[in-house]
Structure 1
Amino acid sequence: MKFIPHSEVSLDHSIRVTADQTPRQILRIDLDTYVIVDMERARMVTAFESEKLSELINTLRCAIIDIEVIATRYIHTSRTIAPQTTGFEIRLHLENGQSIIFTSEEESFTLQGQSAKSLLEESRKPATEALSLPNQRPFNRILVTDEFAKWISTLTLSGNCQQVIEAFWRDFKCHAKNRELLKPGKPILIIGEFGQFYAAEYLCGRVSFHCAT
């Protein structure tokens, strides 16, 4: 991977690699040359040249709906990399629920998540029932799985989970506003305030929330 100074980067004829309206985007500016842009902050994160990333992207059969860039530091490794060497990893979150890690050492890994089919087979309950929430908007529009309800309980110290659920609802609404949702009932991966989760919107207006792992 060869890094490129920001001063040498022009986005005039760039081609978007990620889906439209994603908060963080990968743009291709030349053959095997990429720029990661934080659209919310209107700033360039990094620019680099990598044939390996091109090879990885060519294998994908669905859209990249979001990305994360995470700084890393090696503590111990058997390879010829000095301890405390810094690097980064790019997490590609795909439309099918899969996540792929691409590192600054040009290695690729997959993060195994649940498939859309297994998510749809999960039992769901109204959030008003599962979490003892008032029968009012948005709580009466939310369905949750048992696993998701347990997660909410761990995030709630006082026993009042209304604010936590409202945060998940805001994450969902923000995602829905910034891009077209997929087919009704098909889970989409959302990266929110408390972490990753799946949401599936139905024609009736209800939305089900699922854990991502």
Structure 2
Amino acid sequence: MEKVTDRRLNQRKTQTATQGADSAAVQNEEPGRKISTHFRSRHRERFGDEGPYKMTPKGAWAASDPDALLFFFRRLNLETCRLFCDLGSGDGLAVCCAALFTTAVGIEADPDLCREATANARSLSLPHPALFVCADYTRLRPHHADCLYLYPDKPPAELHRLVPPGWHGRLLIYGPHFPPRGFRCEQALRWERETLHLYRRLSHEEARNDHGRSGKP
């Protein structure tokens, strides 16, 4: 009788622990669903079926897929990064997703998008700071962040000038793109049709060798 009782108690403990883990997982997923729902609703209201797209002072802006970003950021353990910086942050979607994991900053040249991004972040009550700077990121030195994010509308040709050789952070590039000079791809992720590539900056010696092979100044 005692063995049967002990077995039932152990089964109940296991069931309770499993339910607790499932509940925690659901709670962790909930903020992500809130962000996804918020931005999908805003994009439908503003852009209809054509999807989020706008010409800015620095080129074309299009939004990433929020569910893809959340998947990528979880896979990459983004919480281990000290500061996430989105180069061309648009309406703040990537920054808001990143702020579930760590402090996030967006740099955006379009004043209207920058104001919209700030309003989006405030309405979502994010667990980490989400800040926005209205500026041209190519005129700044974003290497103080240890995670840079970019969804390029053209080849990211000047990134090697913004980030010095030996920078120990991670560069995340969303969507199809030409590999940036001075960086090495270390990981490629896919979620449905969406892709994200993780790059590391070459060391000083590697950068010199890369410079010699390219023959470019």
Report the structure number with the largest CA radius of gyration.
Answer: 2
TM over 0.5: no
The answer to which structure has the higher helix fraction is: 2
The answer to which structure has the higher strand fraction is: 1
TM-score under structure 2 length normalisation: 0.28
TM-score under structure 1 length normalisation: 0.28
